[in-house]
Structure 1
Amino acid sequence: MKTMNDLLILEGMKESIVLAGHRGLTRNVQSVNISDTPDVIHFLAKNHLLLTTGYAFKDDTEKFCELIKQMHELNCSGLVIKINRFFKHLPAEVKLLADDLAFPIIDLPTQHTLGDVSRHILNYLNDHEAEQLYYALHVQKEFSNMLIKGYSLNALLEQLGHFLARPALLLNHRGEKIAQSHDFSKESMKAIEKEILQEVRENLPAAREGATFTIPSQEQQSVSTFPVQTKRQYPSMLVIFDSLTLPYPSSQMAIEQAGNVISFTIIKEQAIEENSRLLKNNFFADLIEMKIHSDEEIFSRSNYYGLQKDLENVCVICTIDAQGERYDNLQLYEKKVGELHNSVYDQLEDEIIHGNLEATLFTKGKYFAMILQFSDYSDQEINTITEFIENIQANCNGDFSLSFGVSHSVPSLKDIPTAYYEAVEAILNGYDQNMKGFTQFYKTRDLEELLNTLPRKDLRALYENTLKSLAYPKTKEDQELIKTIQVYLDTQCEFSETSRKLFIHRNTVKYRIEKTEELLNCSLRDPADSLRIRVALIIGSILKADEEAFEN
């Protein structure tokens, strides 16, 4: 059954003032009577509320007090009176009696008619659905006007808290506070706010769906969350304090109407954020493509996006691994994959925040590029990056996997393009090995790896032109010459060391080297000739490996 206190949210009643008998606001209300007759007591019963102008006892305070005693004995709900109609103020005797009996007397503003107020109360008592709809539309209209006028999220939360007569919070998808009603500015509510945030974060999936939690320090009161859809994969959350005791007509329908307007406001702010992100990514593209020629401009624009001078910079590239026909059919980077792209961006941003890293997130084409900054770069920082990536992969939500490429560190913001291309090369190397969900640190390529990337016809031409008749040794003598010059070059052209490793006399080594130099028309002690021969020998091992692979 509804109480007198519940009525104070209704149209007309919410502007009313309780003049006396505040302790009696818990009295139940079952029906409403309107009367100005002196014998009204004969038409009242238990849990009846009387609406009156007070005309019948405007000049008789004793009669007024007698009516209150009789209504109290009948266990009536209370009395709503237009005190300014025939009284200037509530008589002192009446107020003392009402306070003593805990019998509520409420002053109704003169602009509201008794009939309208009676209708609102009866609809409420009968739980009339039309009244709920009316109130929800009223809330929706109020909030829509605020949206059109560009009110902030804090202003919207303040208005919602006023409508519901409850403290309200707005949290993002991570459970972080975006806005609040003024209630949470009070010192007494700050500890409760911390408890609410902790409960939401510990039960984040349920909170995003909409759930009710009990706050440890407030066992008799609950907190409910309501999802607020935005452009992100996960919704923001509207948090209403002590929600289970919401008075009519503060129904869920009304909360949903307010939530819709809050949702539109967040989406508007996200559109502004996306535009800022576009400008940030355009800067990164200009930096990578070296279109910014002034060092001063590089430093100032980098600083604007959170990158500091004189720190070690590491680029971490992330991509979404393609998985079968489902992802191919999406035609990457169109609408559906765009949603996936935004989801991963949010997740990377979350991990940067939770990891407490000095990092700035950009996107370039299909790549997510994170520039991580350290005062020093050693094994400890490498472990930090590895742990950071492992956390991202472990917390990856969805039927997809993420792969990462990590660059060397570079000491200047001007060198970020080098770090970026190293990270890209690292991730491409992983894909060349048909890996998925991997982390690949960049390794400087050795000479053999670089030669392996050249066309085989070019390698063969260089090999044959350099080694000439020794390119394809057929006799035992030619094979011995090739082996000798290989060891001779590896021992830094030392005859004694070469003879020791080959188990031959020093003079034999000398003879073979002189014969080789004559055949190839070069000097193995000459740096240029020595380099050409060394490269040719490496090419020989590459070509031999190709032949063996072909035969197998």
Structure 2
Amino acid sequence: MKALNDLFILEGMKDSTVLAGHRGLTRHVQFVNISDTPDIIQFLDKNHLLLTTAYPFKNNTRKLCELIKQMHALNCTGIVIKVNRFLKELPDEVKLLADNLSFPIIDLPMQYTLGNVSRHILNYLNDHEAEQLYYALYIQKEFSNMMIKEYNLAALTGQLGHFLERPVILLNHRGDMIAHSYDFQKDSMKMAEKEIIQIVKQDISNVRKGITFTIPALGEQSITSFPVQTKRQYPSMLIIIDYLTLPYPSSQMAIEQAGNVISFTIIKEQAINENSRLLKNNFFADLIELRIRSEKEIVSRANYYGLKSDMESICIVCAIDAEGENYESLQLYKKNVVELHNSIYDQLEDELMNAEMDATLFTKEKYFVIILQFPEYTEIEMSKVREFIETAQYNIQEGFTISFGISNQIQQLTDIPTAYQEAVESIKSGYNSRNRGFINFYKTKEVKELLNTITRKDLRGLYENTLKKLAYPKTKDDLELVKTIEVYLDCQCEISEASRKLFVHRNTIKYRIKKAEEILNCSFRDPIDSLRIRVSLIIGTILEEDT
């Protein structure tokens, strides 16, 4: 049976004011009577609620007090009066009597008719589904008002726990606690909260859908999860303890209404975060495109986004491999591509948090960019980075593959543009080799790699002009001269070392080097001449590989 206090979620009643007898709001309500006759007591019974304009008592306070005493004796519920209609105000004598008897007297606003209010109450009392709907609408209105007043997620979660009289936890999509009701401030509930979060993370995919489970800390009490949809791919979660024993009419519909408001609030906060992310990415773009020149400004703005100037850094770029069939099909639907990128961004954040990395995540066009920082970037750190990336690849890839390019370490924040270019170059190198799902660490290009980027015609011209007739040695003597030049230069022009490696006498080396200098019209001791000849010898190996 419903209590009088339960009726304040209904149209008319929710705008009414309790004038007296507040302690009696727990009285039960079974039926509603409307009357403006002096002998109404004859038609009232236990748990009856009277709706009246009080016209028969407008000039007779004594009769109104007598009616209140009689209704109290019958254990009636209370009186709802349109006070402003005839009484104008409730007499103090009546208020005092009602307070003494804990007999509720409620003032109904003038804009509501007794008939409509009676109909709402009777429907509520007799129709369980209507009752749940009224309660859900009441919850929805209360939470909507809180949203308009910009209550934060902690306040909304606390209020939901208050309405349901149950402990409530709000978790994000990865199972981390966003807010909880006031129940969890108790020491006895803190352990329960840890156990709940642990189980949620172990079975996150099912908890997101909505399940019921138990934990040792709470014995037989059930724990039920409800998804809260947001802009993310995966929902946040409301966790309600002992939901299965909620008193009527606390229905799932009411919880969904509260969840909707919580969802809107989360989406609003996500929009704020996305704007902050945009500003962060704009800073990164300005940095790597050299639009920020002042070292002081670079350090200041970088520190704002969590980058420390006293640590070594590396840059990692991550990209979705465009050759995957699923990714190719997503290109037809820009919205899906955006959702995929947002999902990977969120998952990279998760992986960085799980790995406890000191990192800042950016995006630049199609790339996800991670700046990792270390007190010192050693071989051990490099192994940890590879382990982190391999774990991220395994956890994130689903119907597509992702690849990573990693730069060398840098000492200063002003060198981030260089690190970014190295990381991009390393990932492009993987794609040029037609690889997918790879991890490439940047390597400084050797001279041979650089020379390979020059046209063969230009290489051949430099080679022939520098080595002259030794460019294409045909005789045994010419072959010995070329070999001697290579070894002599490798030994940094040390005759004794070259003699030992070639197993010939020192004087033989001297003779051959002198002869070579005459043929090439150069001096091996001259840095410029030495460099030209070294480069030409490397070009010779490239040209040989082409034949």
Do both share a fold (TM > 0.5)?
yes
Task: Report the Cα distance in structure 2 between the residues aligned to 1:5 and 1:243, rounded to whole angstroms.
Answer: 21
**Any residues of structure 2 matched to 1:356-505 within 5 Å, and which?**
356-396=356-396, 398-505=398-505
Distance in 2, Cα, partners of 1:323 & 1:453: 26
Counterpart in 2 of 1:102? none
- 1:403-444 deviations in Å (ceiling 9; x for gaps): 112222211111111211122222222222222222221222
Specify whether residues 117 and 85 from structure 1 end up closer, same or farther in structure 2 by C-alpha distance, changes over 3 A only: farther
1:170·1:236 contact (CA, 8 Å) conserved in 2?
yes
1:162 to partner: Cα distance: 3.7
Q: 1:97 maps to which residue?
A: none
Alignment match, 2:98: 88
**Higher alpha-carbon deviation: 402-411 or 248-257:** 248-257
- Alpha-carbon distance in 1 for matches of 2:99, 2:442: 85
Contact 1:9 1:249 in 2 (8 A): no
Can you list the C-alpha shifts for 1:81-123, whole angstroms capped at 9, x where unaligned? 55978953566xxxxxxxxxxxxxx955534799989877765
Distance 1:431 1:333, change over 3 A: farther
Q: Is the 8 A contact 2:139 2:258 kept in 1?
A: yes
The number of residues matched between the two structures is 504
Cα distance in 2, alignment partners of residues 59 and 199 from structure 1:
57
2:234 maps to 1:234:
yes
Query: What are the residue-to-residue correspondences of 1:106-145 with 2, within 5 Å?
Result: 108-111=104-107, 123=123, 127-145=127-145
Show the counterpart of 2:47: 50
Question: Are residues 1:522 and 2:522 paired?
Answer: yes
Q: Which amino acid in the other structure matches residue 32 of structure 1?
A: Q
Question: Are 1:316 and 2:320 counterparts?
Answer: no
Q: Residue 91 of structure 2 corresponds to which residue in structure 1?
A: none
Q: Which moved more, 1:138-147 or 1:530-539?
A: 138-147
- Which has the higher mean CA deviation after the structures are superposed, 336-345 or 156-165? 156-165
Distance 1:494 1:159, change over 3 A: closer
- Give the AA of the match of 1:389: I
Alignment partners' CA distance in 2, 1:168 and 1:275 = 30
TM-score by length of 2: 0.81
Comparing 246-255 and 136-145, the one that deviates more: 136-145
- How far is 1:202 from its partner? 2.4
CA–CA distance in structure 2, aligned partners of residues 447 and 234 of structure 1? 49
CA deviation after TM superposition for structure 1 residue 194, in Å? 2.7
Q: 2:298, 2:322 → 1: CA distance? A: 34
Q: Is the 8 A contact 1:6 1:248 kept in 2?
A: no
Unaligned runs of 5+ in 1: 42-48, 69-78, 92-105, 548-552
Match of 2:256 in 1: 256
User: What is the DSSP-based 3-state SS (H/G/I as helix, E as strand, rest coil) of the residue aligned with 2:225?
Assistant: strand
Question: Deviation string for 1:113-141 (max 9, x for gaps)?
Answer: 99989877765675533333333333333
The answer to whether the 8 Å contact 2:315/2:420 transfers is yes
Going from structure 1 to structure 2, the CA distance change for 1:324 and 1:19 (only over 3 Å counts) comes to closer
Post-superposition CA distance 1:186-242 (Å, at most 9, x none): 455433333332332222111211122223222232222211111111111122232
* Structure 1 residues 59 and 453: alpha-carbon distance in aligned structure 2, compared to 1, 3 A threshold: closer
Cα distance, 1:342–1:285 mapped onto 2, change above 3 Å: same
CA distance in 1, matches of 2:445, 2:222: 61
Give the equivalent residue in structure 1 for 2:288.
Answer: 288
Change (3 A) 1:426 1:143: same
Cα offset, 1:168, TM superposition? 2.6
Q: Deviations over 1:272-325 (max 9, x none)?
A: 111111111111111112221112111111111111121111112211122334
Judge conservation of contact 2:4–2:77 (CA < 8 Å) in 1.
no
State the Cα distance separating 1:160 from its structure 2 match: 2.8
Question: Aligned residue for 2:335?
Answer: 335
Structure 2, unpaired ranges of 5+: 34-39, 51-63, 81-93
Residues 280 and 430 of structure 1: is their aligned pair in 2 closer, same or farther, counting only changes over 3 Å? same
Q: Residue 286 and residue 264 in structure 1: after superposition, are their counterparts in 2 closer, same or farther (change >3 A)?
A: same
Name the SS for the 2:444 alignment partner. Answer: coil
Distance 2:3 2:531 in 1: 95
> Which of 387-396 and 340-349 deviates more?
387-396
8 Å contact 2:324–2:400 — kept in the other structure?
no
Cα drift, residue 371 of structure 1: 1.2
Where do 1:133-282 residues align within 5 Å? 133-282=133-282
Q: CA RMSD in A?
A: 3.6
What's the CA shift for 1:343? 0.8
Aligned to 2:307: 307
Q: Secondary structure at the match of 1:408?
A: coil
Contact 1:407-1:426 within 8 A present in 2 as well: yes
Identical columns (%): 59
After superposition, the Cα gap between the structure-2 partners of 1:365 and 1:58, relative to the gap in structure 1 and judged at 3 Å, is closer
Separation in structure 2 between the aligned mates of residue 119 and residue 194 of structure 1, nearest angstrom: 48
Alignment partners' CA distance in 1, 2:6 and 2:184: 23
For the 8 Å contact 1:55–1:86, the answer to whether it is kept is no
Structure 1: distance between partners of 2:413 and 2:68: 85
Secondary structure, counterpart of 1:303 in structure 2: helix
